[in-house]
């Protein structure tokens, strides 16, 4: 069963537009962690954020912000004022134990 | 440099050959992981290790063998490579059982 769903396969925006990536997860555990990773065209996987299940505070880091809502099992990611360098595949992931379950990823293309 | 490294970065081999992909981390993380990334399947866990000499199967272990004689190294061996094992392989490590996994740069493997 799919544990992490990223319904958006591809998103294309023009530079300076905001873009929101959706992530819906499924778990029966009360303790879990959620992650976002970025995979730029160069191929490496870059850790962006970790959030535990007891911390529903939204977080902002520069142009990046995350909205965690347990009530809807969602952990959405927004890039404000997107830049060409934001073009990448973004993965949402769920960790219930040592295992990390990844969503299929959303490809973001930012056009100049 | 400190971090997690993989070698080789690119490998072309033929069906039936044995191939070993190396992973080395300098953080002394207890947990290490091998994933493969394929279009349409995202990242899937092959094997993981909780400590030296402790390994266990992940989601797609068939055709792969791992060992972990030293904490810092976690080699992945394809005993008899098949075309279906053409993929990008990522190694990851974390210090805690449920912690942020940091990924190596990946190895692109082509099996002809």
Write the pLDDT tens digit of every residue in A92-112: 999 987 788 999 999 999 999
pLDDT at residue A16, as a whole number: 97
Instruction: Give A102's contacts in chain B (Cβ within 8 Å).
Output: 42-43
pLDDT tier, A1 (very low <50, low <70, confident <90, very high otherwise) = low
Per-residue pLDDT band at B94 (split at 50, 70, 90): very high
The answer to whether the Cβ–Cβ distance between A98 and B48 falls below 8 Å is: yes
Residue B72 has a pLDDT of 95
Q: Does the CB of A35 have a partner CB in chain B at under 8 Å?
A: yes
Mutate to test the interface with A, among B3, B4, B41, B42 (most CBs of A within 10 A): B42
- Tell which of B33, B90, B98, B102 to mutate to test the A interface (max A CBs under 10 Å): B98
Torsion of CA B45, B46, B50, B51, to 10 degrees: -140
* pLDDT higher than threshold 70 for residue A44: yes
Q: Are strands B107-111 and B10-13 parallel, antiparallel or unpaired?
A: parallel
* CA B18 – CA B77 distance, rounded (Å): 7
Contact between B77 and B65 under an 8 Å Cβ cutoff? The reply is yes
> What is the mean pLDDT of the segment spanning B77-91?
97
* Pair A4, A25: CB distance under 8 Å: yes
Instruction: Please check whether residue A49 touches B, CB under 8 A.
Output: no
**Residues A33, B45: C-beta atoms closer than 8 Å:** no
Burial class (CB in 10 A: 0-12, 13-18, 19+), B40: exposed
A102 at B interface, C-beta within 8 A: yes
Can you tell me the distance from the alpha carbon of B68 to that of B65, in angstroms, rounded to the nearest whole number? 11
Cα end-to-end span (Å), chain B: 33
- In angstroms, what separates the C-alpha of A86 from chain B's closest C-alpha? 19
Alpha-carbon distance A40 to A90, whole Å? 8
B97: pLDDT strictly greater than 90: no
Residue of chain A nearest B91, judged by CA positions: A45
For residue A2, the model assigns a pLDDT of: 60
Separation CA B44–CA B57 (nearest Å): 11
**Model confidence over B22-31: pLDDT tens digits?**
999 999 999 9
Structure tokens at B36: 């493969």
Beta bridge partners of B43: B37
Cβ of B103 within 8 Å of Cβ of A45? The answer is yes
The A residues from 56 to 85 touching B (CB cutoff 8 Å) are none
CB within 8 Å of chain A, chain B residues 66-85: none
State the Cα–Cα distance between residues A50 and A33, nearest whole angstrom: 7
> pLDDT tens, A46-97?
999 999 998 888 888 899 999 999 999 999 999 999 999 999 999 999 998 7
B1 has a pLDDT exceeding 60: no
Residue with tokens 């360098």: A85
């Amino acid at each position: 069963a799919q544990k992490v769903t990223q319904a958006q396969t591809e998103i294309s925006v023009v530079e300076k537009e905001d873009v929101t990536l959706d992530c819906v997860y499924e778990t029966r555990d009360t303790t879990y962690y959620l992650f976002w990773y970025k995979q730029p065209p160069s191929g490496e996987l870059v850790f962006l954020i970790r959030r535990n299940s007891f911390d529903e505070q939204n977080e902002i880091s520069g142009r990046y912000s995350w909205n965690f809502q347990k009530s809807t099992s969602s952990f959405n990611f927004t890039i404000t004022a997107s830049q060409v360098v934001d073009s990448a595949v973004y993965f949402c992931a769920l960790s219930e134990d040592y295992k990390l379950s990844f969503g299929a990823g959303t490809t973001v293309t930012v056009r100049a | 440099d400190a971090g997690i490294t993989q070698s080789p970065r690119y490998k072309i081999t033929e069906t039936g050959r044995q191939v070993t992909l190396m992973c080395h981390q300098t953080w002394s993380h207890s947990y290490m992981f091998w994933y493969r990334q394929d279009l349409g399947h995202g990242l899937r866990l092959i094997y993981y290790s909780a400590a030296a000499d402790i390994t266990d199967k992940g989601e797609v272990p068939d055709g792969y063998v791992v060992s972990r004689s030293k904490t810092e190294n976690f080699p992945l061996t394809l005993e008899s490579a098949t075309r279906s094992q053409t993929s990008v392989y990522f190694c990851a490590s974390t210090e805690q059982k449920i912690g942020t996994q940091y990924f190596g740069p990946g190895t692109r493997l082509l099996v002809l």
